[in-house]
Structures are given as C-alpha cells and as structure tokens.
Structure 1
C-alpha cells in the first residue's frame, strides 16, 4: 500500500531547493539570449551530443553544466517520464541532477569544466551568449530527444515570472506551501485518474522535486506506486478548457478532502511577463527631454541703424522667460560696437529662462537728475539652439536680431556656447475629460501587458477612459497618459506613451498576486498586501518586467462629533473635530528589494511628494525628474499610480454616486470644515476622482461584483496562525491606520461634519475594507457582506500545468 505523503518525509529539502531553483531561474531570466531560438538549438545540440554522455560517464559526480546546457537540462527534467526514457535511450541510464547553491555550483562547475576539456578539447565549455553569430549551425541537426525542449523553454520563462516575487523566497511561505504540496500528492494518490492542477506555490516545489530525478522517482513510487508525469503544455485558461475544468475539479476535491480552500493568497496566475512588449527609452531620449544649462559668452555685439539720440547709449542684456525679465547680466556703454574676448557672459539654464533680452537705452542728465528711455528692445530665443546642441561639443553662434517697433534697428552678435549639461526634466500635466468606451478585454494591443480574464458572454466591458498630455519646458507634447477604469473587470490601468510608443504600464493587483503580511516571515522584506486595512496595490511594469509595486491606504480618517450645549441641569460637552485623514503610500522598487514609505502631507495643506528623484505637485500638475535620473516613463507611471490610489482609497459617503461633488457644502460656525481638496488637484481629477472606478467605496456597496476577481469582501479566510489584522505589516514604519474607523469589518463608519471629503452628515465608508480573497476566479468560498474590498483585475487561476 502506498505511503501517505502527508506523513512521510521527502527525499529532497524542497524549501532550500526552491531557493536554489529561483536563483538559477533569475540568472537565466537575466540572459535574454537564452530565449533566442538559435542559441537554444545550439544549447540543445551541446546538451544531447556532449553533455549527457559526459555526465553519464561521471554519474557519481552529479555535475552542473554550463549555463546554456544547464537551462536545456532544466527544461528536460520537468518532463520526468520523457527524461527517463530519453536518457535511457541516449546514454543507457538516467543521469541524475541536483540543485546547488550559487557557491556550491561555482565550486562544482570547475570540475565540470575540467572533465569537459579532457573529453572535448576542441569544444568550448562555455559559449558567448552575447554573440549569436554561428549559433544557428545546429539548425539542421535532428534531435533524438522525444520532448520538445525549445517550446518548453518559452513556457518556463512564463513560469519564472509567476514565482519571481519575493514571497516565493520566504521561508514561512514556502514551509506552508510544503504542507500543501504533500496534500497535493495525497489528492493525486486518492484520485489517480484526475489531471490535477497546482497553484504556483505548489508548482514551484513540484518543479524543485523533479529537478532531482532519481529521488523524485523514488518518492513517487513510494507515494503513488508509479511515476507522476508533469505536463506544462496546458495553458488555455478559457471557460471549458481542460485547464479550467481540471482546476475546478482539483479545488472541489481539495475542499472535500481537507476542508480548506485550495487557492492561496499570492499563489495565482498573474499574467504573462511584459518583457519585449514595451518600448525602452534611451539616454539620448532623456537628454532630449531635459532642461539644459550652458555658459554663454558673447564675443562681439554690434548695433546698427539706431535712431539719433542726444544722450548716452547703453545696451543692457538680461535673461528672460516668456517675456518676463529674470536677471540682468551685462551693461555695455559707448560706441555701438563691442568686440573683445568677453564682451558679456552668463550661465544660461533652460529650467528657468529661455531667452536673452537686448534693451537699448538712452541716458540723459546726471545721476538722480538724469532720465532713461528705452529706445528699442527685443528677445532672442536661445532655447531651441541649446536643445539642439551636441552634449559633447561647444557651439558657435552668429545671429541678427531686429529691434524697435518698426524693426529698423538691428543687433548682430557672435557668441560661444559651452557643451550643454543635462538638467532636470520638467513636465506639466494637461488633463483631458473622461469618456465612456467599450474596450474588449481580449485584445492585448489595446491593453498592453495587463492580465485579463474573460467576461461572461454578452457582457460589454464599458470603461471610463481619458488620455492626458504631458508637455515639457519647450511646450512640446512628450508623453501621453491613458487612464482606464473598468468596473466589469474591477481593473484600473495606466498607460504611459513616449510619443506614440507604450513605454510603461501600471495596473491594479490583488491578493491573488500578493500575500498577506502574516503569510511571510518578515513583511519588511516581501511585497505584500493587507486588504483588511483597505490597502490597494498597483504594479508598474516596463520592458524588462516588474519595476515597482505601489501600495496605498487611507490613514487617520475620523468623523467629527458635534458638541452638546449645557443646560441648567447638565454640563455641556465640547465637540471633537474630525480629520479628513491622508494617504499612506509604500513603494517597493524591484531593483532595491525594500520598502520606501511616505505619508502624503495633506493634513498640512501640502500636495507635493518626492520619491526616487521624482517630484510631483498633485495640485497644479507639475512634475520634475531630477537631473541624471532615468526611467522617466516608469516614474510617470508611479506619479499616476499614487494618484490612482488616492482615488480608490479616499473615503466617500455611502450614498455617493459618480459625478457628484465631494466639496463640503457647509462650515461649522466660523471654522471651515476640514477636507482634502481632491477636486482642485489636477492629478486626482486626471486619475478619475469623480468617475466610476473600482474603488473601495464601489466594492463595499457592490460586494457581489468582487466575486471571482481576487477580491473578497467580508472576512479574510486564512489558515490558522496567519490571521491578518488592520495593523499587520511593517509596523511603526507604516504608521497607525486611524483608530476605530479603520476596523477590518468597516463599511459602517459615518462621515460626520468634519469627514474627509465626505461633506455634510451623510454616512460614508472609511479606512479599512474587507478582505481580498486569494483566488476568486476559481470559486472557493462565497462573498461576505459589508466590508469593502481591495485588489484588482481577475484572479488568473492556477498554474498552467498538471499531472
């Protein structure tokens, strides 16, 4: 009788092995050439013709291969039945494999290289992955391996994206998933004919197990009495597909066998990786966008056809911007021709100025008894010349400027401009109105790399859409930002276009993608989402993958309590002022691997925030990207993501409807009602503050809409020991949530007279929402009532594999 996998020990340390596997997958992901078909064909040939015979010859060593070969080997091992058959046919035995730490792999690879060079002195052990020339020499070679490794490599790229988030490296998360993997094997044992489908936490450990082929085979014979195949070619997630049907069957059997939900927070499909789907801006693009500074030296200035004057001639030079004088930098007197090495000079910064103004003055009399008269003046626009200048070369300039109302006078000058230095990028948001549009959810060219689930037949995806312009200091439109809100999909999306090229995307993610803070050992070192506290999350993507995660929640909202007048028999009671609260934001930059937290200074009537070289004035729409900073499209997506989180999280009266103003309509005595002036803030209106959005307010009032979207309302059902409360997360660094108003089962707090933007005495939602469920798309539990919600987009379901 087969042993119970829930009780028996595994032959492999899967938690440690998973960490080693993820490190290897990241190394492969960083080498884009390993997805090049020509490189893969060459690697497959090297693996089959050279590596397998060498590894079989030294079977007792368990050697790691060079990176290209190791990648092909990795993909082959994930088809365990085919791998055993192919190895036996090719080299007469099953070649064993093991996952190593980076340190151990580097040590053992030296042994592999030595044995390779002894066996194949004319074959390079490692190939230059940066050069693909000649790599297609293997295109005519017919492989004897039965498994399609080249196609599998593309699928494994998608797999790594699913498990690349930080919680998949967390010991607490993985140890819990190990228990789920044991139950997964038990379910297969009890249902041998079922095509069983794992969630990604289970799939990661399953892959880790298969990458130790001899031990995997031994364990499967112990647990199942036969080999356990793995099929990752099943990727159709549409209704009625094998994957979709098997996923539901797996879930139903899991609930029946273990009395718990199969789906897990942070372990669901999150869409295909964005690599190669977005435009990458270059350093030259950033230089062209930016303000610039240079030293301008005038070597010759000559005035011609100046009207006859009785007084003394003076020529004053100023810097100016938009017809407003900024600074005087030179005064020339005497004859109307000045030529020497330094007639005049100025440091010219296009961040502040764009023109040189020439003013001809006639001065009569002496000192305070004299008079000055402007005879003629005009400006010369240096901005386009400096913008067009080469950053490595000085520029010589000879120009003529007409002066005076009749343009009869003339000023000729010769100047020398030093090579411009790049300054900050200045942009101003020019917001447009929203309009309704039907946007089919299955057209990727329209949405970009945003995971979408199919809506029920006959359901139109009506969206609120707006396209906003961003102009730089020259007045030219440099970027377009498109905002999309879809209530049917519970999704909000930000597209950033550089000219007409989509360069960055931001969209809502929910608890199907991100774990609870209680699921990980240290929330400071993991991307997480606390739906009980009303948090919402956005992922920002660029052409290389996930760039940042931005999480927001509303803090400090408090309803006001009116005072009670005293009587002859009872002392009066003073009122308690309310607070509009503010937005807390934390940002996880993926290249840094740590949280940055900020509290927006709304309570101090300030509406500017700074983060990672980005300064945003939410009120007037001005943006500054610091000199030398790159990733401009991504930073713009960050700016709009913060605005979006404000729109989704700010409390509103329960009866509020889209389009209804939230400005307060009354004040209490001479004291103005406290509120956040969202409708006067350019960025908030551009993000859709008054539009129909999948906000906490909407989800709380429409709990049924959250079913099936990775968004649950009501109680967050989690395993014992992982219960999540309002204050769970990164603790003091994140700050208080805002008292009793932020209780997790909210939806009951009223917005009193001092309410944050609620205005008047209507009831309102505040602070915390109910919990997101990790996996709505797959069924698993019902929707609770009442508590608001969070998350975004559809739960994509389980892993695209089974066995």
Structure 2
C-alpha cells in the first residue's frame, strides 16, 4: 500500500464522537492510571537486560533448547503451582519468560492451554533479586531434586546441554524468533539516561499519550519511540496488570506486534511511523520524536569484529592506587553521648586480623570529602573495612562498635585502568546504618607512545552505511552530495613492538557525520562516531545533567560515541565557551565513561602562540599536540579506546571551535592560528574539510 493511501486511512476518531482540544487530549491522556509502578519496574527491566547482554549464549537459538525445556516443563508448572508467591526465575529461564510475555495475547493462550490459567510475572530490582531467588530455589529443589536450579551460561556449557535436548513443546509462540528480535532491543535503551527516574517519568507520560492516541485513532498501526516502547514492554511483563489496565483504558487487551522489523522506505513499519508522527502532531501539537529515544541502528556486535591482541601486546601492571573521594553515613548513630561517634576505616589484606585503622573520622559530621579521606597504594590489600563506634555508659564510658561493613576491592579490579566506583555498604550490627562510598582505583602501566601519521583527504564514494569497511574509490560527485564525502587513511606508529594501528577518517558533509574507524584485518574493531540528539537527551530530560551524557544542539554542542563489539564505551560532548567579548574561548568537554558511569570535565584551551605547550590529559594518558604523540598508560585492551578518545577531543575541537567565514578576514585568521591548524591531530580530524559548528561571519 502506498504511503499516500495509508495516510488517508489512518486518522483521529474520538471514541465518544466529540472532538477534543489539545489541552483536553493532554489532560485525559495523563489522567490514565496503571496498577504497576512503571518507573520502578522499567529500572528493573533495564537492569535485567543489561545482565542478559553479558551472556551471548542466551541470544543464540541453538544454545537455548535446554532452557526452553526448563522453562516449559519445569518453571512454568512451578510458578503456576505457587501463583500467590513472588517468584523470579534463574537468568536463562527468566530471559525466555521475558520474550514470551511480550506477546501478551499468545502468552495467555499458551498458559491456559498448559495450566488452565495465566501465570503471573513481576519485575524485581537487582538488590531484591537475590532474596526472591532464594525462595524460588527452595521451591525448585523441593520439586525437582535431580535438576539444577541454575546452569552455567557459557557458550560451551549451554550448547552441550542443548545438543541432547528433545521434547515436544506445547507453546504455540515462536520463542526462538522472539529471542532473536528481543536481543536487538537492549542496545537502543542501554545508554545511562534510561536508568534516570526523571527520564523514565517523562517516558511514562509519553506512554500515557501513546495509549490515548491508540484509543482514539482509526486503523493505525501505532509505532512507539524507544522510551515509550520500554514502558510498554515493562507493562506487559506484569501480565495480569497489563490485561486489566488495557481493557479498562482501551476496551481490550492491546496487542504487541514485534514481528514488524523491516525499516525499508515503503515497509509497513516506515509508513506506520509516518502515520504515527502525523496523528501525534494533530492530537498533541508537538513532535512525536523525542531526544534520546530514537532508533540507534544495529548493535555494535552486529557491525564490528572483536579486537585482536598479540601475546606480546599485554602490558604489565606496575601498581594500584586507591583514592577515596567521598564518604557519608545514612544517619547519626544512637548513643548516650549524642553526636559523639566515630567511623574507623581499615585498608587491610586480611579481613579478620585487623590492626590500626588507616583513618578515623569523627561526628557530628556525617559527610566527608576527599581532603579528609586518603589516597594510597593497594599492594596486596583487598579489604576496605568500616567500624562505626559510639560511646556508651555514664560513669565509666567506653567505645562500642555498633556497625561493621566491608568492600572487597578485588571485585572492582580489572574493569578499567581508571575505575571510579560508588558503593553502599551495610553496617551490620546494633545500629544497622549505611555508608555511601565513592572513590577511584587507578592501575599504573608503563608508557606506550604512539606517533600520529596523517594521510591525505580525498573525495570518495561514501555509502549510506559507513559502519562497515568500504573500498576507497574516487567519485565525480561533489563532496557535499549524497553518496560522496571525504576519506583519509591515518596510522598510529608504535616503536616498541606493540604494533601499529590503522585508522580511517570518514566525513559525510551531506549527513554532517564523521566516523573515526580503527581497523584490523580489513574489519572495524572500534570507532568514534558523531551522534545527534536521537541518541542523547536534552539536559532538562534528566535529573542531573552532570551524571548523564546530554546534548543540546541549540548551544552548539556536538557529541561523539566510542564503541566496540561489546557495546558503547564512552560518550564525549563538546561545547565552545566564549569570553564576553567573543575574542577568546575554550572547548569544554564532558567525558562520560560508560564502564563505570563516571564523568570527567576537560577544558581544552587553544594556545595563543607557539611557545605555549598544548597537551590534553585524560585519566593517565597524555595527548600531545606539539609532538603529535599519544602517551598511553593504560591496559592493552583499552589502547584503542583511549586513542579514539584523544582523536574524539580533537574532532570536537574542529567541530566546535569558531572560525571566520568572511574572506577578507581569512588570511588574518590563518596567520594567527598557523601554529594550531598545522597540527597533525586537527588536520587528521578534518580541520580543512569540515565547517565548524560555530563558524561566525564578521564584518570587513
């Protein structure tokens, strides 16, 4: 069916026949209620999907046949038998259950066929899951003495268990196909703002408006954005609540069809998306698309190849440093002497034999910052132990420990060469307090120097999909035309036998898109790619913009996403900050490392003369513009990420630094900036082919 014909079919059709104003539509939409806390449940779903994403075997059809047997023949009967209990399944079964629930009508039909009625399900947060799982395991072991409750989730073990599994399924839903479809969903909701309560609260409101539009539209196959889709999925994962709520709000159970995945121009999905946007605008007088909630494309594991390392590329760690940045307790402990309490902190190798505290903090203060805490080498010490003490007794008073807690630092190692952590520690004992600790563990490595050799930019044919290596072929098209762009081949040279790194820079003026691609064996293994507000929210959409990667193009901000096969690694956003007279300024960069959800602020000030040394520090690494060297002090498996980080900062400088566009002033600008624009880093990041975000016209 042609798009024009579909538009004439899909239309607003208010159920009571009375046309409503925009304000009345908003009022009625937002007055709809749900019998589930969808914000809290959505947090639980994102946490769950993040855990599933760590086990590739769960997404492979040939690896989950044993799980299917466990789900259908063991778990569902157990859950149906204990319908009144709040049970949760082991991870492999929970994932299959999740996929089944996202076809609510078929799920109910299958449950009725097998058990005579629907089996309920609830999402639980990660901090509750272990507790709920204990009860599930207890019931499972009582019923199935010869079946393990949890199974090993490695590729080999899952395949071995599935290869000999044969049983006749009574489920009508194609679970294998559902797993393949749902495996792609998490990447689109994996950025940190999907764990922000404010963003999710706004998502629930958009879901309310989504349902109201569905209720009052005629022949519309409604297509949600990913913020709405996350909430829709969350709602369906509570099957009794979903059925009751949608019947109450819409008059029937709302069918969820996730089989429509074709995004070609004339596909049902594309044409229905056009209809949805048009009717949303007609009903609410606002854009349907919202920043940070749009389709992000295929996940990196579909596009890239794993990074390969030679055995001699592994760097030996020289040492470990622990730095505590902040510490607080939940409340003042109770004691005869009121505010007279202390918190002792021990950094020790043995959690039993504890000697002198590393530091002792005293009340009535409840919050301590880095200046009052400590930084030291870890060596073999792995335990951070806390003792909360109060003074008791009236005549002969004495100090009594009323709370004990600990952090196993070994569990925080080997995640990143610089790993920032935030931990809440239960201080078990008479007082039952909580301590909140934030800090950083830094791994020290020997210097690895990479020199940057730039290639020449040429106008080439650039395909629409630049996420895969394509042949560099000249074209007669102008560089700003569709299908053309600039391409350069660069190389990082290393003289210490670590190996050179091939790097390709691709810039498409037509799409205003740049991609820095790191290539091994003719395949992309890591990239730093410009992204827009379809990926990232505006600052007002999240509770604290300092905690999340946000992007506001109205302020001239640009963003770069660094990713590899295993997923997104970091987001860098840049903005040019000008002085009041507009004559000077600097690039302000927010570096969000997604591994530990940390945020660093980096100010890049362009030197005014050749005498000023220009280098940028990120974690332990130094990017030196003067020598065109990158000095890396990180783990070998993070080398490409930090090379990408350095080039991303220079790309943001190219995109955001104001440049004169008045021809009469161009020569003056070149003379003033000659010591900068000749830099290999800026030239290699497209200084001569990319027009600045903030190019400014000046009167002659």
Would you call these one fold, judging by a TM-score over 0.5? yes
Q: 2:658, 2:692 within 8 Å by CA — same for their partners in 1?
A: no
Is contact 1:438–1:460 with CA below 8 Å preserved after alignment? no
1:687 pairs with one of 682, 685, 688? 685
Structure 2 stretches of 5 or more lacking a match?
1-14, 17-26, 319-443, 472-479
Counterpart of 2:37 in structure 1 is 13
Tell me the secondary structure at the aligned position of residue 33 of structure 2: coil
Query: Which residue is equivalent to 1:386?
Result: none
Give the one of 524, 549, 567 matched to 1:545.
Answer: 567
Matched, 1:462 2:467: no
Change in CA separation of 1:119 and 1:518 when aligned onto 2, cut-off 3 Å? same
Secondary structure class of the residue paired with 1:134: helix
Is 1:432 aligned to 2:430, yes or no? Answer: no
Distance 1:589 1:148, change over 3 A: same
Distance 1:191 1:149 in 2: 31
Decide whether aligned partners of structure 1 residues 135 and 6 sit closer, same or farther in structure 2, where only a CA change above 3 A counts: same
Show the 5 A alignment for 1:107-118: 107-118=131-142
1:506 partnered with 2:528: yes
* Residue 107 of structure 2: aligned partner: 83
Aligned residue among 580, 583, 587 for 1:583: 587
Shift of 1:184: 0.6
CA contact (8 A) 2:30 2:205 kept: yes
**Greater RCO (CA < 8 Å, at least 6 residues apart):** 1
Structure 2 distance, partners of 1:676, 1:125, is 68
Which residue matches 2:386? none
Q: Distance in 2 between matches of 1:6 and 1:192?
A: 21
Cross-structure match for 1:493: 515
* TM-score normalised per structure 2: 0.72
Aligned CA RMSD, in angstroms, stands at 2.9
Q: Determine which of 267, 285, 291 is the counterpart of 2:293.
A: 267
> Distance between the aligned counterparts of 2:607 and 2:229, measured in 1?
47
Instruction: After TM superposition, list the pairs within 5 Å mapping 1:398-797 onto structure 2.
Output: 423-442=446-465, 444-446=467-469, 460-474=482-496, 478-498=500-520, 500-556=522-578, 578-579=583-584, 581-603=585-607, 605-626=612-633, 628=635, 630-655=637-662, 664=669, 675=673, 677-691=675-689, 693=690, 695-696=692-693, 750-751=697-698, 762=700
TM-score of the aligned structures, taking structure 1 as reference length: 0.63
Rate the CA distance shift 1:148–1:678 in 2: closer, same or farther, 3 A: farther
Question: Displacement of 1:137 after TM fit?
Answer: 3.2
State how 1:116-195 maps to structure 2 within 5 Å.
116-130=140-154, 131-137=157-163, 140-191=166-217, 193-195=219-221
- The corresponding residue for 1:707 is none
CA 1:426–1:500 in 2, change beyond 3 Å: closer, same or farther? farther
Partner Cα separation in structure 1 for residue 467 and residue 455 of structure 2? 24
> Highest Rg: 1 or 2?
1
Q: Please, which runs of 5 or more residues in structure 1 have no aligned partner?
A: 293-420, 449-457, 561-577, 667-672, 698-746, 752-760, 763-803
Residues 268 and 512 of structure 1 are in contact (CA less than 8 Å); yes or no, is this contact kept in structure 2? yes
Q: Secondary structure at the match of 2:468?
A: helix
My pick for the range that moved more, 466-475 or 58-67, is 466-475
Q: Name the residue aligned to 1:236.
A: 262
2: CA distance, partners of 1:653 / 1:423 = 42
- The structure richer in helix per residue is 2
- Equivalent in the alignment of 1:34: 58
| Candidates 266, 272, 287, aligned match of 2:314 | 287
Cα separation, 2, equivalents of 1:141 and 1:59: 25
SS at match of 1:445: coil
2:248 is equivalent to residue 222 of structure 1: yes
Q: Give, in angstroms, the shift of residue 630 of structure 1.
A: 3.7
CA-CA distance at 1:5 after TM superposition:
5.1
Per the TM alignment, residue 655 of structure 1 is displaced from its structure 2 partner at its CA by 4.4
- Shift in Å, 1:461: 1.4
Alignment: residue pair count: 538
TM-aligned CA distance change 1:145 to 1:627, over 3 Å: closer
Indicate if the aligned counterparts of 2:588 and 2:604 stay in contact, CA closer than 8 A: yes
Report the counterpart of residue 271 of structure 2 in structure 1.
245
